[in-house]
Amino acid sequence: IQSTIADYATAAQLAAEAGFDGVEVHSANGYLLDTFLQSSTNTRTDAYGGSPENRVRLLKEVMDAIVANGAFPANRIAVRLSPNGAFGDMGSDDNDTMFPYVA
């Protein structure tokens, strides 16, 4: 997990070096971070599964790493969410509470 977080931070740094104005962290439509947010796919029993606080942990750690490496300030980092997306069997019974918590 730590190397994946570092990969997101590196990608943001490379985007900044390429002249991008900001980045959007894709956490929707069955992409990796979305699978951690959704209870239908996140069946982990460690610090990244179970409660909403745990399921959002990876996304928060990715965001913190991007800000910490100085690639972009927080106001230049967006997050794409799709609480009702059904692609790739996404969707969870608790989306009505999980995604307001994430936002």
Q: What is the enclosing helix (H) or strand (E) of 81?
A: strand 77-81
Active site residues: 31
DSSP one-letter code for 24: E
The count of other CB atoms within 10 Å of the CB of residue 66 is 26
Q: Which positions ≥6 away from 66 have C-beta within 8 Å?
A: 8, 9, 12, 23, 25, 72, 77
